[in-house]
Structures are given as C-alpha cells and as structure tokens.
Structure 1
Amino acid sequence: MSVKIQSVAKALPAYTRPTSEIMPYLDLWLAGQEERFVKKVKKIFENAAVDQRYSIMNAEEVFNNTSFEEKNNIYIRECTELGKKCLQGALEKAGLKGEEIDYIITVSCTGFMIPSMDAYLINALQLRQDIVRLPVTEMGCAAGVSGMIYAYQFLKANPGKRAAVVAVESPTATFQHNDYSMANIVSAAIFGDGAACVILSSHEDDKGPAIVGAEMYHFYEATHLMGFHLSNTGLQMVLDIAVPEQIASHFSDIIYPFLERNGTTMEAVNQLIFHPGGRKIIQTVEEIFSGSGKNIDDTKEVLRLYGNMSSATVLYVLERILDKAIPPGDKGLMLSFGPGFSAQRILLQW
C-alpha cells in the first residue's frame, strides 16, 4: 500500500497589484521618515523578486491603521472562502465528492479563528460527519509540507482512505502600520496571500506520485529565527537576517541522510519542489546546487507571480510540477522551512 498525491488546486484572493503599483502606498506610509530610509525600503521592494502579489484586502485597507480585530475579521471571512474554493478545486481535479474525504487538515498561521476553518468547510461542502479534523496553526511557512506529513502518517495507517490538506494564509493581514523594523518591511516586500489544497490517498487504484518518505528536521537553539510576536496591534513578524545562513549550514544534514535512508541520492532527484521563502533563500539554495544540473525554476516563478504565501506557497510549486508530463520513475523532493526552526521533507516518486 502506498500513499499518493491525487491533486492540487490553488485559490487566489480578489485583490492584486504589481509591485510597481504598491510604491505610492509606501510613500504615504513612510511620510515623515528620512529620505535615505525611504529609498532603502523601496529598494527592498524592488529587489524582492516579487512582481505581483494578491491580498484579501485592498491596498488602502492594508496600509491603513486598522485594528487587529478588524483585520482578523476580514481574515476569517475571506480565508474561509479561499479554503472552500481550493478544496472544491482539488476535489474536481481528482474527480471526487466531499463525502469521499476521510481526514481534513487545515493549515494557517496568519490569523485566529475558533472554531477552526475545517469546521466551516465541513458545513460548506457537506463533508462527512465522521471526518477526522486536524487544524495546524503555529508552524508557519513549513506547515504546508507538515500537513502533508500528518496526512501521510494517517493514510499509511489507514488503507483505502483519503485526506485533504488545506493551506490558507494572509500575511498582508499581519502588516504592522506603526512598525518600521526591517522584519516588518521585508515581510511586506516578499509576502502575499493565497490558498491551496492537496488531496492524498491510500486507495490502491488512485493515481499520482507516491510518497516514498517524509521527515522533519529541527534546528537546536533557533526559536528566535522566525515567528510572530502577538502584540496589541496583531501578529508582528519575527524574521532574523541569519535565516539563509542557518539553512546553508544545515543543508547537507537536512537533505543527504534523508535521501540515503530512503535508498536514493540527490543525483536521482529530478523534480525540486522547494518553498520560495524569499530571494536570499532561493539564492542560497541555488548556490548549493550550482554545477549539479539541478534548478528551482518553478520555485522562483511562484515567488515572482505570487510572493511568499507562507504555508500555501510550496503547494503552488507542487501544482506546477504535477501539471507537467513527469516520466514514470522520476523522483521529486519537497522541502520547506519554518519557525522552530525546522525543515520539512517529502520524497516523491512518479
């Protein structure tokens, strides 16, 4: 019995702007700041390798000093709709009905809602009344792969079942109007909003690439590198400049022993499905693979078209790969990083 990926579908919010059209809003937000600082902030946006981004709010709402409650209410309303849309899309791609899902995992770290999103999706799509729910709320950018790992473990233990992992994020809802720190500015420059759903199956006859192995890797003494500080004005980004360096220093330990334990090598992996954390992280990974003939072009293209959508982003890369004609026998490596600090890995085989 193997666990396979049946389908992936994305959903995007209604509001979108190219980075060039965000600059006037930066001028308003940065009014009164030193000219040198304003130029530095604009340069960060221009060099973020993000051409376009989407948001659950219009630009005026993002840059206005709205309250945490107001933004979180928008998050609840809009993200629930995005979750419904991407789950419906994934079901349609797989040729399934809602009642054929046995396990639902909802992933988000950019807002709060109790009941969690899965409860609303059960009602909206009339999912099974005995469906098993798991909301994953505090694993950040890594949680798209984390959710798939949880689904994989469930399906390995339960043949003939299916699971849906729904990742919905709105980093723009966490923008801090009165915070001029580099963490808040870099976050605003690289992040965007989006949602994606992946359906996995342990039904013998279902098609799709099989998960060969799945593991997590945790960095010691690295909780300070990434996360959110819960302030009176909302979720305030924590983002240490040492993140790319830390990834580079652990990369060999993250990748090669994992592949070896699963009976393969990096040379045998043709499909790289990496979370696009940002331009510097992409550059770090590309430098590691320089000269090996590998590329992360799909990762770069997702960052360019949508920005970093936290947990949902790696699923956008996965969808691009699944839409290609991948030859049987090809192997793929999924990799994402997130608060903790941790790396999540999945090995696929077509």
Structure 2
Amino acid sequence: METGFNESRIISIGTAVPEYSMSQDTILQFMHKEYQDPTASRKLSVLFHQSAINSRHSSIPDFSDTDERSLFPLNHEIPMVAERIDVFRQKALPLSVKAIENAFKNIQVSVAEFGITHLITVTCTGILNPGLDIELMVELNLSPDTFHTSLNFIGCNAAFPALKIADSIVKSEPDARVLIVCVELCTLHFQPKNDSDNLLSNTIFGDGAAAVIMVSESFANEQNKKGFSLKGFSPILLKRGKDFMGWKVNSVNFEMILDAGIPEFIGEELGLLMEAVSDKLQLTPDNINHWAVHPGGKKILQAVERGLQLKDDELKHSYAVLRNYGNMSSPTILFVLNELFKSNPASGETIFAMGFGPGISIDTASMVCHGFV
C-alpha cells in the first residue's frame, strides 16, 4: 500500500512505568488487608486469578509487600481526592519526561535538536491548572510559541483523538513536529469498596506513560525515519452503553464505573463497527496484517477474538501488555503499538488499532508500516 506525501507518520514511541513494580499476588495481599472483608477478599481472589495479569506498576509504594506507605496509611484511613491530586502533581511530570526521553532515544536525537512545534498531553487521572502541557513546556524548555493543548478526562481511548489531532496538524503543516504524551496514575484512586465496579478496577489498573513523535511523510523520508503511517480513523459511539463505563469525581477519589457486561456488549457490536470501518477506511479483517487492541481486560480481548474470529496469536502484543502492565488507561494502546514497532514488521503491512472508552466509544485507526527492513 502506497503512502501519501501529505500523510503523517509515527516515527517513535517511548514508554515508561514508575519505579514500583508489584506482582498480582503482592497487590492481592494488600487488597485483603485494606478491605478487611472476607466476602470482598473471596471475590478479589477469583478476579485476580482470572485477570491474565502478572504484574502492575504504581507511582507509590503502598501496594508492595512492605509497610512503606505514602498515600494509604496503615490505619486504613481513606485519603481525600485533594491528597491524591497532590501526588499526581508530584509524580506525573517525571514519568512523562521518562517516556519522552525514551521516545527521543529511539531516534537518537535530543528534544532540543528535534524542535517540537506542537505538544498534546492526555490524562484522566489528575486535574491540574496550569496543566501538564504547561509543566512539560517548562521542563523540556520548549519554545514559548510551541502550540500546546490537553485532552482531559476522556478515558482509556483518549490516545486516539490525540493521534487524530496530531494527524490533522501534520497534514495542514508539513513541517510540524508533534509530541503526544499520555500519562495515567490510576492506582492513586484505589478505594476499598465492595462493589463490582471497584473490585474489577482494583484488579486490572496500573500506572504508566507513553510518548509519540509524529511528523509528515516528507519529513520522515528526508530524515530516513521508519514508522507507522496514519491512513485514517473511524470512531463509533454506542449510545446504549452510555452508563457502562466512566469516571465520577467525589470527595474521596475519581471513582470508576465499570460494568461487568462491557466485554459481551462490545462483542455484540463488533460487526457494526467493522461495517463502518470497511465503508470509511476500505479495510476488512482479511487485509489487516497486525491487530493492536486496547487490553481493557482479558474478557475484552477474548470478546474481540470471538467477534472477529481472530487466530490465537493475533492479539499477542495486547496480551503481553496486559500481562506485564495491566490496563493503564490512555497510554495502554501506545504500549501495544510500541510492542509491534519493536517487532520490526514488514514495510507495507497494515495495522488496525482499536480502543474502548466511556460512551461506550470505540475508536479505531488504520496504519501502514513504512521503512522497516
């Protein structure tokens, strides 16, 4: 498949996780202590056992097998939302910078040498004003006339609108050099409530950040940069799933709404989704070489496999990210794309990326591998 002169290309993806890495078994022991509820513990044990997650990361040490605590005290007192946001303020910036540094390390150039012209930040687990985009402008010493904006409180699929905005920028300004940064500190919002939403979210969510560098095809070719060329986007809003997923802010935390019926619901709608994709992107499962599906949980990946009749290994990158990191909300699909990037796919092969968020919204993007050996 040919790439167009005015299209955009992802030339690097950098990922980062915070320093505290815990096994699911270790996190489960923390949950048992915090819940102090035999019924909840039995439910959590089943959920953790079935999660297909081996480890997750957190920006705080509280979930480890030590008594070191920075947010959730040993006396089980529940921190208020302001305390959680204070930790986000401290931890989100350095984690974002780590992901950015890894992205630029991949292309062997510094931020200063590259010359970022546009910055897009994404998060739904913290609220700051001035926001993360301003913090990064200062920390990276970007030019004061750098375009900057933020996408906040969208959810797990937020990387897709960020990519769409970056794609539009590059198409209108061929010399643009766009940096996207997604960072989520989901574990800050832990709450020991014995309801299905909290039990499930406490089972799967972790912290992480990812950075994407996007430029025009012409710029990428001049610099001899391989990557993923964006071919198109096809979102769909499934309105009858509006109440299945979301965040609500209360005095304690950002509380997750996560209906257990989401995987089945998504599976039922995949036929409608692929019809829209076929019409808009001229893409069918038969001509997709690589699948990059947001690993919202094991049951979601299984629903996608069944709904689209995929082979056993076609979601291997999604399962690998779920296994090693859990669901990190918005950066997670970029972790999956990074796994694919590192696998060195053949030039000309197609990629179909899919993510899920509140609404229920399903976002998709079509890409073509370019410049790989």
Runs of 4+ residues deviating >6 angstroms: none
Aligned-partner Cα distance in 1 for 2:60–2:312: 41
- 1:15 matched to 2:34: no
Q: Does structure 2 conserve the Cα–Cα contact (< 8 Å) formed by 1:162 and 1:203?
A: no
- 1:267 matched to 2:286: yes
Q: Does structure 2 conserve the Cα–Cα contact (< 8 Å) formed by 1:98 and 1:128?
A: no
- 1:191 matched to 2:205: yes
Matches within 5 A, 1:156-235: 156-177=171-192, 179-202=193-216, 204-206=218-220, 207=225, 208-235=227-254
- Among 30, 33, 52, which residue is 1:28 paired with? 33
Aligned-partner Cα distance in 2 for 1:36–1:231: 25
Aligned-partner Cα distance in 2 for 1:121–1:201: 19
Aligned-partner Cα distance in 1 for 2:104–2:137: 14
Aligned-partner Cα distance in 1 for 2:290–2:339: 11
Aligned-partner Cα distance in 2 for 1:337–1:21: 28
SS in 2 for 1:224: coil
Percent of aligned pairs sharing the same letter: 27
Task: Describe the shift of the 1:292–1:307 C-alpha distance in structure 2 as closer, same or farther (beyond 3 A).
Answer: closer
Deviation of the 1:292 alpha carbon: 5.3
Matches within 5 A, 1:129-144: 129-144=144-159
- 1:247 matched to 2:252: no
Residue equivalent to 2:92? 79
The TM-score, its normalising length taken from structure 2, stands at 0.89
Aligned-partner Cα distance in 2 for 1:201–1:194: 24
Task: Describe the shift of the 1:20–1:128 C-alpha distance in structure 2 as closer, same or farther (beyond 3 A).
Answer: same
Aligned residues: 347
Aligned-partner Cα distance in 2 for 1:180–1:92: 44
Q: Does structure 2 conserve the Cα–Cα contact (< 8 Å) formed by 1:331 and 1:348?
A: yes
- 1:105 matched to 2:110: no
Residue equivalent to 2:3? none
Task: Describe the shift of the 1:128–1:240 C-alpha distance in structure 2 as closer, same or farther (beyond 3 A).
Answer: same
Residue equivalent to 1:94? 107
The TM-score, its normalising length taken from structure 1, stands at 0.94
Q: Does structure 1 conserve the Cα–Cα contact (< 8 Å) formed by 2:305 and 2:311?
A: no
- 1:39 matched to 2:37: no
Paired residue type of 1:6? I
Paired residue type of 2:89? I
Q: Does structure 1 conserve the Cα–Cα contact (< 8 Å) formed by 2:19 and 2:58?
A: yes
Gaps of 5+ in 1: none
| RMSD between aligned residues | 1.7
Query: For each residue in 1:240-268, what CA deviation from the matched residue of structure 2 results, as whole angstroms up to 9, or x when unmatched?
Result: 12211221122122224323432332111
Aligned-partner Cα distance in 1 for 2:26–2:251: 30
Residue equivalent to 2:66? none
